[in-house]
């Protein structure tokens, strides 16, 4: 076998846990295999040289699924929009394999759209091409924004016609490989609680700590408390990353929460156009449960729900004392990230707290979009701003009665920066605020070129822009 993907050194971490956690499945056979996206940026992590990996290698491994390993549909339940659903699990995907990266992390190759499994219920096990294109873009954009996210390794169009209620149908099909730290979810634990199997919870928890929390010793008597406290911190950090990036995940059900604190599964997500807490990404989220502004609250609630299964193997006090820290951890990370978007990495300056408040007030009132505000800051920053506060964003129509107050405060903070950091403001601004945002109309126009003309150039161009932070 010369296919580098088939020759990788696959580990059997999850498989070794035994059949209580998954169901072996086979992949669907597709009428066509057209490689639409290959993520060359991920190949070096796998120790592969992109120049030596052929398109055909992707197609054989991730479209035709030539493999000698078992594919595992993972079992999980979850709270969906607040209701417990025991009829979940990998219904259109499976764990293709697990590989150790050159960074020594273990990574999952997870499929999406690879055919039916015992968990498909009455659905087709397929992924629409538009859904795949949207997930590729989300992963790349979020990664560039510094969000701890899964990414897409490959996207292969598979030549079938799908029928969907939320896309003009028939619509095109694809199969995707998701590259992520793990596909173990909060819902994986919820299922084991439902099955009344504390023994299986303990085994899974030990596995999670061993592979994904390597700084915690599984032999330590406090290891579960330490794990939960670290998970709380990782989720708080992730939520702050979403919020500062203006990202609304859309479906924060517990089956979409990774036990590693990584962001994944991008369905109806959207980046917010205006700074509006009520903005809701999923059209079916009638109650606005997972709107942009609810995300910290919903993530904290999901962490609280996870206490139900974890209580089977650890003390409620340890869980309580872990969750207590969520609010201040979230606030601190959010403050830090928002200051970075303003070009500031010195958080000791006391006025930065007020600056955060005034910036969000300005954004609420102003007619400028969330993205444009920060993109303009990055584009128009000059050292004159440190001399005269009225020149800050002077040519940008902000239309806000708070403008002067905000300019003064921003000026006050900038002038207090130590000289070496004053020099860095422009670079920090440009690094934290890309010029291209993945707003819905941008994705739609890329998709229309694909749908009407089979023109993939706008998609490629958008990826290039996102990756160069242009
Ligand atoms: P998601 O909304 O993608 O997080 O999926 C929620 C649940 O529905 C998971 O158990 C999926 O595997 C399942 N599911 C979603 N779409 C399909 C489909 N087309 N075929 C089979 N199962 C699906
Ligand atoms: Mg999901």
Q: Which residues are catalytic?
A: 255
Contact between residue 162 and residue 128 where contact means Cβ atoms under 8 Å apart: yes
- If you search the block for the tokens 């490959």, which residue do you land on? 154
Please, which contacts does 376-384 make with residues 24 or more away whose CB atoms are closer than 8 Å? 377/341, 377/342, 377/343, 377/429, 377/433, 378/426, 378/429, 378/430, 378/432, 378/433, 378/435, 379/435, 381/343, 381/425, 381/426, 381/429, 382/426, 383/422
Question: Does the CB atom of residue 185 touch ligand 1 within 6 A?
Answer: no
Number of Cβ within a 10 Å radius of residue 464: 11
At residue 396, the pLDDT reads 93
Chosen domain end from 183, 199, 221: 183
Residue 241 within any structural domain of the chain? yes
Chosen domain end from 162, 183, 204: 183
pTM of the model: 0.98
Neighbouring residues of the ion ligand 2, judged by CB less than 5 Å? 256, 265
- Distance, in Å, from the CA atom of 102 to the CA atom of 155, rounded to the nearest integer, reads 23
Question: Does the CB atom of residue 91 touch ligand 1 within 6 A?
Answer: yes
CB burial class (10 A; 0-12, 13-18, 19+) of residue 82?
Answer: exposed
At residue 468, the pLDDT reads 85
Shared-domain flag, residues 330 and 350: no
Residue 229 within any structural domain of the chain? yes
How far out from the chain centre does Cα 77 lie? 20
Shared-domain flag, residues 19 and 157: yes
Residue 300 within any structural domain of the chain? yes
- Distance, in Å, from the CA atom of 182 to the CA atom of 453, rounded to the nearest integer, reads 37
Residue 371, C-beta contacts closer than 8 angstroms, at least 6 positions apart: 246, 271, 273, 437, 439
Contact between residue 277 and residue 373 where contact means Cβ atoms under 8 Å apart: no
Shared-domain flag, residues 145 and 66: yes
- Distance, in Å, from the CA atom of 240 to the CA atom of 232, rounded to the nearest integer, reads 12
The packing angle between helices 403-416 and 352-365, to 10°, is: 150
Rounded (to 5) percent helix, strand, coil in the chain: 45, 15, 40
pLDDT tens per residue, range 187-238: 999 999 999 999 999 999 999 999 999 999 999 999 999 999 999 999 999 9
Residue 468 within any structural domain of the chain? no
Question: Does the CB atom of residue 256 touch ligand 1 within 6 A?
Answer: yes
Shared-domain flag, residues 160 and 230: no
Residue 4 within any structural domain of the chain? no
Shared-domain flag, residues 89 and 224: no
Ligand 1: which of 75, 94, 123 to mutate, most ligand atoms within 8 Å of CB? Answer: 123
Pairing status of strand 270-271 against strand 95-100 = unpaired
Give the torsion through C-alpha atoms of 234, 235, 241, 245, to 10 deg.
160
Chosen domain end from 148, 183, 218: 183
CB burial class (10 A; 0-12, 13-18, 19+) of residue 418?
Answer: exposed
Query: Which residue range forms the structural domain that includes residue 285?
Result: 187-334
Shared-domain flag, residues 352 and 217: no
> What's the structural domain count of the chain?
3
4 alpha carbon to ligand 1 midpoint, in Å? 30
Shared-domain flag, residues 197 and 179: no
Per-residue pLDDT of the chain (470 residues; tens, 9 = 90+): 699 999 999 999 999 999 999 999 999 999 999 999 999 999 999 999 999 999 999 999 999 999 778 999 999 999 999 999 999 999 999 999 999 999 999 999 999 999 999 999 999 999 999 999 999 999 999 999 999 999 999 999 999 999 999 999 999 999 999 999 999 999 999 999 999 999 999 999 999 999 999 999 999 999 999 999 999 999 999 999 999 999 999 999 999 999 999 999 999 999 999 999 999 999 999 999 999 999 999 999 999 999 999 999 999 999 999 999 999 999 999 999 999 999 999 999 999 999 999 999 999 999 899 999 999 999 999 999 999 999 999 999 998 889 999 999 999 999 999 999 999 999 999 999 999 999 999 999 999 999 999 999 999 999 999 998 66
Question: Does the CB atom of residue 89 touch ligand 1 within 6 A?
Answer: yes
Residue 137 within any structural domain of the chain? yes
Shared-domain flag, residues 173 and 239: no
Q: Which ligand is nearest to the CA of 113?
A: 1
Residue 459 within any structural domain of the chain? no
Residue 205 within any structural domain of the chain? yes
Shared-domain flag, residues 55 and 152: yes
Shared-domain flag, residues 302 and 417: no
CB burial class (10 A; 0-12, 13-18, 19+) of residue 328?
Answer: exposed
How many CA atoms are closer than 13 Å to the CA of 267, on its beta-carbon side?
18
Ligand 1: which of 77, 81, 92 to mutate, most ligand atoms within 8 Å of CB? Answer: 92
At residue 67, the pLDDT reads 79
111 alpha carbon to ligand 1 midpoint, in Å? 12
At residue 1, the pLDDT reads 65
275 alpha carbon to ligand 1 midpoint, in Å? 30
Shared-domain flag, residues 222 and 365: no
274 alpha carbon to ligand 2 midpoint, in Å? 27
Shared-domain flag, residues 17 and 147: yes
């Amino acid at each position: 076998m010369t296919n580098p993907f088939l020759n990788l050194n696959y580990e059997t971490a999850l498989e070794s846990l035994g059949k209580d956690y998954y169901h072996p499945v086979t992949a669907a056979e597709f009428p066509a295999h057209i490689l639409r996206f290959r993520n060359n940026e991920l190949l070096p992590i796998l120790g592969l040289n992109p120049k030596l990996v052929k398109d055909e290698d992707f197609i054989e491994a991730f479209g035709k699924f030539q493999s000698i390993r078992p594919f595992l549909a993972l079992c999980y339940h979850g709270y969906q929009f607040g209701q417990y659903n025991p009829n979940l699990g990998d219904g259109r995907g499976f764990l293709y394999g697990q590989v150790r990266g050159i960074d020594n992390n273990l990574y999952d190759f997870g499929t999406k759209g690879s055919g039916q499994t015992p968990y498909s219920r009455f659905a087709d096990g397929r992924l629409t091409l538009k859904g795949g294109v949207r997930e590729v873009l989300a992963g790349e954009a979020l990664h560039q924004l510094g969000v701890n996210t899964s990414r897409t390794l490959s996207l292969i169009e598979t030549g079938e016609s799908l029928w969907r209620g939320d896309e003009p149908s028939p619509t095109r099909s694809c199969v995707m490989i998701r590259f992520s730290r793990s596909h173990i979810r909060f819902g994986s634990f919820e299922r084991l609680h439902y099955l009344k199997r504390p023994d299986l919870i303990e085994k899974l928890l030990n596995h999670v700590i061993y592979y994904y929390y390597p700084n915690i010793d599984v032999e330590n008597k406090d290891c579960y408390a330490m794990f939960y406290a670290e998970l709380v911190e990782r989720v708080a950090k992730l939520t702050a990353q979403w919020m500062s990036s203006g990202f609304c995940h859309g479906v924060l059900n517990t089956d979409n929460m990774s036990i590693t604190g990584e962001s994944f599964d991008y369905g109806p997500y959207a980046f917010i156009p205006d700074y509006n807490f009520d903005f809701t990404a999923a059209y079916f989220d009638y109650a606005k449960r997972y709107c942009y502004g609810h995300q910290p609250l919903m993530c904290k609630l999901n962490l609280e729900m996870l206490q139900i299964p974890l209580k089977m193997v650890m003390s409620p006090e340890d869980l309580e004392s872990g969750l207590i820290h969520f609010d201040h951890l979230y606030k601190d990370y959010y403050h830090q990230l928002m200051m970075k978007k303003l070009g500031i990495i010195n958080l000791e300056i006391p006025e930065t707290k007020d600056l955060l408040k005034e910036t969000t007030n300005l954004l609420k009132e102003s007619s400028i979009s969330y993205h444009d505000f920060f993109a303009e800051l990055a584009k128009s920053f000059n050292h004159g701003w440190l001399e005269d506060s009225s020149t800050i964003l002077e040519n940008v129509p902000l239309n806000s009665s708070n403008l002067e107050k905000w300019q003064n405060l921003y000026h006050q903070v900038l002038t207090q920066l130590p000289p070496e950091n004053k020099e860095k403001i422009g670079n920090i601004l440009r690094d934290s605020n890309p010029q291209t945002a993945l707003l819905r109309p941008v994705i739609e126009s890329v998709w229309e070129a694909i749908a009407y003309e089979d023109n993939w150039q706008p998609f490629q161009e958008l990826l290039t822009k996102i990756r160069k932070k242009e």
